[in-house]
């Protein structure tokens, strides 16, 4: 038993050294994060200066620092449309803004909703379709389709679709999103779920609760095509990034190793049906559920 344990420990140390050699070190992770967060801050300042009404965020492997040069990870950018107000209740209506009311029905898939167009100058639903990316449902509601996110990329080139991303470059995923006015009930499980308590800490949860939730153009996989065009998914990307930033060096190495295994072996068999998001969820569940000394 002792000999087997020594072999596993030796193998683990060698693997850890190999990850060090390809740049999965605390120093390189911190440097990647600083680089992408500074780019994000500069883009925010530029947006304010130009009055674009958008805030840009960098998400994914690059800003998390969970990648290597050999993985050729793409760049994930989210554009938050701040000139629109996403409401969970009519009482949150804002004068002069594009007001979008979150609509849920018994048929709404988990973590998804529709967006109903309200008036800019009155707290009433629109009754007429004013734009080509709006439709009227069977109940007479004017709903926003996810086609609106393609308007800002008008081009003769063919758009590349990947999940909620609409992009002109296969190496850059660009997502147009709307910020939610407050935390929706669908996203409160992070703060209400019973857990041992060592991770996430109370301070992390308090910080996460202050972050906005986004609505991104991603229909439910099993929905018919015409319904997918009307479905928006709640995204907690800022909260997820905060949690990833709290990983220690060993946890980061495990996460990067899992991503390498997925890209080199699993993706060849199942494609994108098993994604990095699944691995990220498994990592967070493990860190939350098991004692810290296993790392």
3-state secondary structure at position 135: strand
Predicted confidence at residue 79, as pLDDT, reads 92
| 70, part of any domain | no
The answer to whether residue 64 scores a pLDDT higher than 90 is yes
Termini Cα distance of the chain: 20
What's the pLDDT tens digit per position in 102-161? 998 888 898 999 999 998 888 888 888 888 889 998 888 999 998 887 765 555 556 676
Please indicate, yes or no, if residue 42 is contained in any of the structural domains. Answer: no
Domain membership of residue 245 (yes or no) is no
- pLDDT at position 167 is 72
Residue 61 pLDDT exceeds 90: yes
194 Cβ contact list (under 8 Å, min separation 6): none
Residue 283 is assigned to a structural domain of this protein: no
Q: Is residue 105 part of a domain?
A: yes
Identify whether 8 is part of a domain.
Answer: no
Q: Looking at residue 154, what is its pLDDT?
A: 54
Q: Is residue 185 within 8 Å of 177, Cβ to Cβ?
A: no
Q: How many domains does the chain have?
A: 1
Give the tens place of pLDDT for each residue, 172-227. Answer: 888 999 999 789 988 888 888 888 889 999 999 999 999 999 999 988 888 888 88
Structure token pair of residue 200: 């996430």
DSSP letter (8 states) at residue 272? G
In-domain check, residue 225? yes
Q: Is residue 4 part of a domain?
A: no
| Long-range contacts of 55-61, Cβ-Cβ distance < 8 Å, separation of 24 or more | 55/79, 55/80, 55/82, 56/80, 57/237, 57/238, 59/237, 59/240, 59/241, 60/173, 61/259, 61/276
SS3 77: strand
**pLDDT above 70: percentage of residues in the chain:** 93
- Quick check: pTM over 0.95? no
Domain that holds residue 123: 83-195+213-236
How far apart, in whole angstroms, are the C-alpha atoms of residue 169 and residue 160? Answer: 7
pLDDT for 151:
62
């Amino acid at each position: 038993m002792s000999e087997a344990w020594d072999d596993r420990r030796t193998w683990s140390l060698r693997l850890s050294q190999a990850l060090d050699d390809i740049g999965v070190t605390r120093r390189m992770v911190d440097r990647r994060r600083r680089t992408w967060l500074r780019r994000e801050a500069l883009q925010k300042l530029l947006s304010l200066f130009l009055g674009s009404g958008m805030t840009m965020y960098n998400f994914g492997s690059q800003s998390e620092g969970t990648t290597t040069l050999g993985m050729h990870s793409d760049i994930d950018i989210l554009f938050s449309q701040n000139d629109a107000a996403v409401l969970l209740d009519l009482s949150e209506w804002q004068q002069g803004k594009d007001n979008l009311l979150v609509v849920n029905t018994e048929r709404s898939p988990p973590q998804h909703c529709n967006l109903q167009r309200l008036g800019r100058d009155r707290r009433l639903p629109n009754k007429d379709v004013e734009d080509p990316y709006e439709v009227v449902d069977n109940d007479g509601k004017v709903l926003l389709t996810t086609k609106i996110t393609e308007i800002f990329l008008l081009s003769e080139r063919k758009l590349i679709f990947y999940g909620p991303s609409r992009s002109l470059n296969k190496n850059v995923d660009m997502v147009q999103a709307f910020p939610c006015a407050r935390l929706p009930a669908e996203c409160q499980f992070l703060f209400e779920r019973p857990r041992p308590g060592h991770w996430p800490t109370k301070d992390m949860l308090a910080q996460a609760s202050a972050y906005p939730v986004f609505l991104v153009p991603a229909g439910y996989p099993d929905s018919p095509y015409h319904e997918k065009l009307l479905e928006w998914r709640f995204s907690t990307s800022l909260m997820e990034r905060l949690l990833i930033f709290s990983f220690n060096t060993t946890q980061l190495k495990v996460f990067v190793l899992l991503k390498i295994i997925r890209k080199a072996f699993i993706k060849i068999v199942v494609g994108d049906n098993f994604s990095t998001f699944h691995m990220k969820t498994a990592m967070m569940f493990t860190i939350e559920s098991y004692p810290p000394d296993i790392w």
